[in-house]
């Protein structure tokens, strides 16, 4: 069968690549095309558009790049009609993918949404769009199944795909603070200067920046003048395995950091306009997946003006001392709630069986 996968961010590329790998094992005739990144390329997928060219962060940034985004819609529609896939698999990235789902459904393509949009956090009207424009909805967080079913959707819970690739090496810990400033240029520009502001307050630690697969090494050159600041180019997993603590931009990385058992501080800062809009429409009490799953503030969230040198220093000092054991105890609860893993294989089997038997 022919599969067209659409991901718009680094995490989507990772999960899409794992799904492609799983589908290849059960469908010997599988062919893949995608909008994605290096991980999907490594699986032999024909990647028409790289995620580095389509990732825009925040309301203001989307408005400023609207011409490019509209051009991307025209391009991907042409590519999908050329390929004529048996199924279109949309991975997260709801601002783009839900609009694409509407068009694809109208054109008669089978639409699968893998990693359901976070309608429980904001834009609840996305529930109705999912009902109208998708044939199959797969979710990865334990509370999502109940949320969507209560609103009339048929949804299948497959577990979180991060679990299948986490290998914790407890003996590798060093005096390292991991800096995870995000995967997109706008995020890194907003977050990294704040994270680096506290270096001199922790003279016994090295600070290592996780390089985004979307960004070139030279992008970080201006941040590496301090002798204890280094760029980690070998992937986030190996960095988290050696770190005592982490400063993490809100997103999937917060959950990944928890699964590697690294105490963290969650950071988020955006443009003033984007923040004011988000503050008025987001309906959940926390921004990190860790706290949302646990339904409490297990890790500190520093948002907008709270993300500053004084507060970062205070919170990191706590995390490196008294807070470490409490945070790791909460992490153990998260691992129990997420189940045994194997999400990519479960999702692949569900997708393949549904398309084969249509």
Edge to edge, what strands does the sheet with 229-232 contain? Answer: 229-232, 206-210, 176-180, 245-249, 264-268, 300-303
Query: Which of 47, 18, 52 is closest to 32 using CA atoms?
Result: 47
35-46 burial code (b ≥16 CB/10 A, e <16): bbbbbbeebebe
pLDDT value for 46: 97
| pLDDT (0 to 100) of residue 123 | 76
Closest among 108, 162, 103 to 129, alpha carbons compared: 103
Q: What is the pLDDT of residue 264?
A: 98
CB 29 within 8 A of CB 4: no
State the pTM of this model.
0.77
Q: What is the 3-class SS of 183-250, one letter each residue? A: CCHHHHHHHHHHHHCCHHHCCCCEEEEECCCCCCHHHHHHHCCCCCEEEECCCHHHHHHHCCEEEEEC
Q: What does the pLDDT profile of the chain (358 residues) look like in tens digits?
A: 999 999 988 889 999 999 999 999 999 999 999 999 999 999 999 999 998 877 655 555 555 566 677 788 999 999 999 999 999 999 999 989 999 999 999 999 999 999 999 887 777 789 999 999 999 999 998 889 999 999 999 999 999 998 988 888 877 788 999 999 988 888 898 899 999 999 999 999 999 999 988 788 999 998 898 999 999 999 899 999 999 999 999 888 999 999 999 999 999 987 656 555 555 556 667 889 899 999 899 999 999 889 999 999 999 999 999 999 999 999 999 988 887 778 999 999 999 999 887 7
298-323 CB burial, b ≥16 within 10 A, e <16: bbbbbbeeebeeebbeebbebbbeeb
d(CA 286, CA 216): 32
Q: What is the pLDDT of residue 77?
A: 96
Q: What pLDDT score does 134 carry?
A: 97
Q: Are 116 and 144 in contact, with CB atoms under 8 Å apart?
A: yes
What was the pLDDT predicted at 43?
96
Q: Which CATH superfamily is domain 2-159+341-356 in?
A: Glycogen Phosphorylase B; (3.40.50.2000)
Distance CA 87, CA 356 (A): 10
Rounded CA gap, 56 and 40, in Å? 20
In 3-state terms, what secondary structure has residue 27? coil
Three-state SS for 258? Answer: helix
Q: Which of 165, 223, 193 is closest to 343 using CA atoms?
A: 165
| Residue 18 to residue 249: CA distance in whole angstroms | 23
Q: What pLDDT was estimated at residue 239?
A: 96
CATH number 3.40.50.2000 is the correct assignment for the domain at 165-338: yes
- Span(s) in the chain for CATH 3.40.50.2000: 2-159+341-356, 165-338
Phi and psi (nearest 5°) for 111?
-120, 125
What pLDDT is attached to residue 271? 63
């Amino acid at each position: 069968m022919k599969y067209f996968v659409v991901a718009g961010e680094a995490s989507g590329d990772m999960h899409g690549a794992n799904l492609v790998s799983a589908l290849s094992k059960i469908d010997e005739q599988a062919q893949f095309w995608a909008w994605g990144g290096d991980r999907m390329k490594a699986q032999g997928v024909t990647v028409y558009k790289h995620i580095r060219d389509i990732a825009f962060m925040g309301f203001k940034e989307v408005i400023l790049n609207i011409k490019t985004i509209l051009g991307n819609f025209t391009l991907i529609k042409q590519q999908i009609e050329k390929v004529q896939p048996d199924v279109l698999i949309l991975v997260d990235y709801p601002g783009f993918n839900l609009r694409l789902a509407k068009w694809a459904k109208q054109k008669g393509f089978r639409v699968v949404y893998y990693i359901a949009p976070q309608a429980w956090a904001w834009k609840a009207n996305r529930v109705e769009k999912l009902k109208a424009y998708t044939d199959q909805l797969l979710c990865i967080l334990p509370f999502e199944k109940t949320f969507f079913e209560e609103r009339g959707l048929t949804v299948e819970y497959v577990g979180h795909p991060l679990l299948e690739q986490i290998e914790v090496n407890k003996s590798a810990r060093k005096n390292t603070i991991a800096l995870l400033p995000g995967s997109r240029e706008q995020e890194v520009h907003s977050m990294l200067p704040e994270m680096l502001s506290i270096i001199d307050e922790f003279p016994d630690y090295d600070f290592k920046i996780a390089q985004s697969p979307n960004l070139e090494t030279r992008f970080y050159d201006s941040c590496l003048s301090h002798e204890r600041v280094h760029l980690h180019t070998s992937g986030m997993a190996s960095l988290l395995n050696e770190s005592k603590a982490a400063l993490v931009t809100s997103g999937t990385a917060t959950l990944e950091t928890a699964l590697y058992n690294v105490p963290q501080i969650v950071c988020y800062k955006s443009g003033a306009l984007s923040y004011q809009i988000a503050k008025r429409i987001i309906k959940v009490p926390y921004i990190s997946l860790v706290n949302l799953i646990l339904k409490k503030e297990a890790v500190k969230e520093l948002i907008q003006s709270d993300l500053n040198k004084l507060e970062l220093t205070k919170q990191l000092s706590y995390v490196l001392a008294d807070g470490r054991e409490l945070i790791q105890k909460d992490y153990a609860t998260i691992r129990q709630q997420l189940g045994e893993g194997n999400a990519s294989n479960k999702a692949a089997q569900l997708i393949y069986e549904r398309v084969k038997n249509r």
